[in-house]
């Protein structure tokens, strides 16, 4: 039972989701890339997912994070300092959309994906537009060679995958995990919107859980081919 919502309102806090993102970063990106690349990250939060993934791998490149929330940015820098990762993880306190796109071979993100009619939510910066995929679509418009993003089964997953395909991406790998509805996704305004989307066949979830996918979109077809049909099947299965 939550006794105070203040910390949750200030900095994104959902360890189950952040750990899943960290696992996706490690297995779909850091263990598969050359190890020396530049990686851009949208929405670093308190920095823990990237930090944990860096500590588990031999990656020697640099992750350039962008985080708008000042409290999260400060918390992330304290953690980076504590783990002496200042040469591998550099965070900017601004939006990736406000700068000329940094050069990087990967763009990675656990993006804001809450669907709601407006952004008057516990954390406005977690609003993903009316269907929850506005920010993710914007990330897929930046033309990075590889994009690792989390995608939710209640945020029009098929619409998102079709958008990526139209932008010239393929699904080269993915990992799916069930997630329980938590503090942010249980907010009445979000529940109302996903209920409406479910009745229209654009949101998929059961009473207590939804599916979260870590999806690696790439501009080149990987040896595994194009897994988009399989991903749509899984993400619309609840
Ligand atoms: C779902 S949280 C993920 C945080 C962290 N990566 C994690 O997984 O624990 C999304 C983050 O994106 C940040 N964010 C939202 N819009 C942003 C923008 N335009 N530029 C940079 N960060 C943004 C939010 O403040 C939030 O910290």
* Residue 91 covered by a domain: yes
Tens digits of per-residue pLDDT, 114-150? 999 999 999 999 999 999 999 999 999 999 999 999 9
Identify the CA nearest to 153 among candidates 124, 181, 127, 125. 181
Q: Which residues contact 211 (CB under 8 A, 6 or more apart)?
A: 152, 153, 176, 177, 178, 179, 204, 205, 234, 235, 237, 238
Residue 196 lies in a domain: yes
CB 131, CB 159: distance < 8 Å: yes
Percentage of residues in the chain having pLDDT higher than 70: 95
Q: Is 75 within the bounds of a domain?
A: yes
Q: Is residue 1 part of a domain?
A: no
User: What is the average per-residue pLDDT within 5-28?
Assistant: 89
For residue 176, the SS3 value is strand
178 and 154 in contact (C-beta within 8 Å)?
Answer: no
For residue 24, how far is its CA from the centre of ligand 1 (angstroms)?
A: 16
DSSP code for 29: I
Q: pLDDT tens digits, residue range 67-78? A: 999 999 999 999
Q: Is 80 part of a structural domain of the chain?
A: yes
- Which residue range forms the structural domain that includes residue 230? 6-235
In this structure, are residues 25 and 39 in contact, taking their beta carbons and an 8 Å threshold?
no
Tell me the average pLDDT across 77-104: 96
CA of 42 to the centre of ligand 1 (A): 6
Half-sphere exposure of 109 (CA within 13 A, CB side): 28
User: pTM for the whole thing?
Assistant: 0.95
For 116-157, the DSSP string reads -SSS-SSSGGGB--TTS-HHHHHHHTS--SEEEEEEETTS-H
Q: How far apart are CA 234 and CA 238, in angstroms?
A: 8
Output the pLDDT for position 5.
45
CATH assignment of the domain containing 75 = 3.40.50.150
Token pair of 140, please?
């897929």
Q: How many domains does the chain have?
A: 1
Written as six digits, the tokens of 159 are 């619409």
131 domain-assigned: yes
Atom 27 of ligand 1: nearest residue by CA position? 45
Using the mean position of ligand 1's atoms as its centre, give its distance from the Cα of residue 34 in Å. 26
Residues paired with residue 40 on neighbouring β-strands, in sequence order: 64, 107
Tell me which residue has its CA closest to atom 14 in ligand 1: 43
Residue 21 clears pLDDT 80, i.e. is over it: yes
pLDDT at residue 1 in the model? 37
Strand partners, 171: 217
Ligand 1 pocket: which of 75, 99, 112 to mutate (most atoms <8 Å of CB)?
112
Q: Is residue 128 part of a domain?
A: yes
> How sure is the predictor about 3, in pLDDT bands with cuts at 50, 70 and 90?
very low
State which ligand 1 atom lies nearest to the alpha carbon of 17: 8
User: Taking CB atoms and a 6 Å cutoff, what residues make up the pocket around ligand 1?
Assistant: 12, 18, 21, 42-45, 49, 66-69, 72, 95-97, 110, 112, 125-126
User: Is 61 inside a domain boundary?
Assistant: yes
């Amino acid at each position: 039972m939550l006794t105070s919502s203040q910390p949750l309102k200030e900095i994104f806090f959902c360890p189950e989701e952040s750990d899943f993102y960290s696992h996706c970063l490690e297995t779909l990106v850091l263990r598969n890339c050359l190890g020396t690349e530049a990686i851009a990250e949208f929405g670093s939060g308190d920095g823990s997912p990237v930090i944990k993934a860096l500590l588990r791998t031999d990656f020697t490149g640099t992750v350039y994070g962008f985080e708008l929330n000042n409290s999260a940015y400060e918390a992330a820098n304290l953690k980076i300092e504590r783990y002496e990762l200042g040469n591998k993880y550099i965070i900017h306190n601004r939006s990736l959309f406000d700068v000329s796109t940094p050069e990087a071979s990967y763009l990675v993100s656990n993006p804001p994906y809450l669907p709601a009619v407006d952004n008057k939510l516990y954390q406005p910066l977690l609003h993903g537009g009316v269907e929850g995929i506005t920010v993710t679509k914007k990330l897929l418009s930046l033309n990075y060679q590889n994009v690792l993003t989390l995608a939710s089964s209640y945020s029009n997953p098929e619409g998102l995958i079709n958008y990526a395909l139209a932008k010239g991406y393929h699904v080269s790998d993915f990992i799916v995990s069930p997630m329980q509805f938590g503090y942010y996704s249980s907010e009445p305004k979000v529940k109302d919107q996903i209920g409406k989307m479910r009745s229209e066949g654009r949101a998929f979830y059961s009473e207590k859980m939804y599916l979260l996918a870590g999806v690696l979109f790439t501009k080149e077809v990987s040896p595994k081919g194009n897994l988009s049909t399989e991903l749509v099947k899984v993400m619309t299965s609840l």
